[in-house]
Amino acid sequence: MGGEKFPEVEGGGSLILAWQVKNKKVLVIGGGEVAAGRILNLLNADAKVVLISPRDGLNPEVAHRVEQKQIEYHDKKYEPSDLDDPAITMVMTAIDDPEASSRIWKLCKEKRIAANIADVPPECDFYFGSVHRDGPLQIMVSTNGNGPKMANIVRRRIAETLPSNIGEAIKKVGALRKKLRVLAPGDEQGPKRMKWMSKVCLQWSLEDLCDMTEQDMDDLLRNYGPDLIPTFEQLKLGESPDEWQFDGSFGWSCVI
């Protein structure tokens, strides 16, 4: 078709998504070390965590979450009726009982509840990767179950290449975008908003974005109407558009 080239299909991967579980009920079965990591991930995503596990099986970190009332806790062994709550949107098991885990998996399938059975890839609707977190920035590396340790190694290698203040810069960009949506609401403004924000990220350096204040944001937004982007230095000096002289150079770039 016209000699066009398209990407080759490479099967065997996973569809990596950012799953929004804020204020949604997630059931965790088991309270050991694996459960501790799962629970922390869920709390970081603002989920409502319900834990079922005998108290003598609680990891110290999990026990801390219980004591601080960060999660809803039931001191008991799992029962099939625990899945009857229609508000449960996800189930994660971390117990040392393969047969019980498989029964939970099958019941989740019957009820159409997404589930993750620890250490049993065939019985998982989703996997956990190795995640780097810096404020709003999250980067996940997955090996699709082939080598969790390798995922950690790759994730650390990626993190080492990132600027130490990239999380703060992203926060500032997010705050600027919110202000822009108030200034220029409506779907019809969408394309212009996107292009204007992209130009800001291309022209301003990472350090500029980190140093940007609320006043700088307001001053910068005055240039949205005429679709202009002053440099950080020009904004600070209060120069007018007819005083701007661009040299064609660009600083750090980001993707919105």
**Which sequence positions are flagged as catalytic?**
119
- Element at 65 (helix H, strand E): helix 60-67
d(CA 16, CA 143): 11
- b/e string for 67-80 if b means 16 or more Cβ within 10 A? eeeebebeeeebee
- b/e string for 234-247 if b means 16 or more Cβ within 10 A? bbeeeeeeeeeeee
Report CA-CA distances (Å) from 239 to 202, 215, 230, 234. Answer: 20, 15, 9, 5
